[in-house]
Amino acid sequence: MSTVGFRNLIKILMRSRSLRFTTDIVRQSPNSSLARLRWSGRDVFYRSGTADPFVLYQVLLRSGKKAEYYVPPALRPKIILDIGSNIGASILYFHRQFPDANIFGFEPHPDTFRILQENVAHLPGVRVFNYGLGATDQRIAVRADKVNFGAFSTGGPFKDRGHPAVPVECEVRRLDDVLREIGIARVDLIKIDCEGAEADVFSTLPDAILNDCQWIVGEFHDHTGFEVLARLAPHFHLDLKKKMFRSRFRFHACNLSKVQQLSRSDLDALQR
pLDDT single digits (tens) 137-176: 999 988 776 555 555 555 555 455 555 567 889 999 999 9
Is 156 in the same domain as 53?
A: no
* pLDDT, mean of residues 254-268: 88
Is 55 in the same domain as 80?
A: no
- Under the banding of pLDDT at 50, 70 and 90, the label for residue 32 is low
Does 200 fall in a domain? yes
% of the chain with per-residue pLDDT over 90:
71
Does 69 fall in a domain? no
Is 45 in the same domain as 138?
A: no
pLDDT of 189: 98
Listed as own residue / partner, the contacts of 53-58 with beta carbons closer than 8 Å and 24 or more positions apart are 53/21, 53/24, 53/25, 54/2, 54/25, 55/86, 55/87, 55/89, 55/150, 56/21, 56/87, 56/89, 57/12, 57/15, 57/16, 57/25, 58/89
Is 52 in the same domain as 81?
A: no
Q: Which residue has the higher pLDDT, 106 or 28?
A: 106
Beta strands in the chain (DSSP E): 34-39, 42-47, 79-83, 102-106, 126-129, 132-134, 138-145, 165-174, 189-192, 215-220, 236-241, 249-255
Is 211 in the same domain as 145?
A: yes
Is 181 in the same domain as 87?
A: yes
* pLDDT, mean of residues 119-143: 94
Give CA–CA dist 54/61, Å, rounded. 10
**Number of domains composing the chain:** 2
Over the chain, what is the mean pLDDT? 89
Domain final residue pick, 39, 61, 83 = 61
Listed as own residue / partner, the contacts of 247-250 with beta carbons closer than 8 Å and 24 or more positions apart are 247/221, 247/222, 247/223, 248/219, 248/220, 248/221, 248/222, 249/219, 249/220, 249/225, 250/217, 250/218, 250/219
Does 68 fall in a domain? no
pLDDT tens by residue, 218-257: 999 999 999 999 999 999 999 998 999 999 999 999 999 9
Q: Which residue has the higher pLDDT, 145 or 13?
A: 13
Does 141 fall in a domain? yes
- β 236-241/126-129 pair status: unpaired
CATH, residue 153: 3.40.50.150
Domain final residue pick, 40, 61, 82 = 61
Does 118 fall in a domain? yes
Picking from 164, 130, 129, the residue whose alpha carbon sits closest to that of residue 144 is 164
Domain final residue pick, 11, 26, 61 = 61
Q: Is the pLDDT of residue 258 over 90?
A: yes
Range of the domain at 38: 1-61
Does 240 fall in a domain? yes
C-beta atoms surrounding 218 within 10 Å: 22
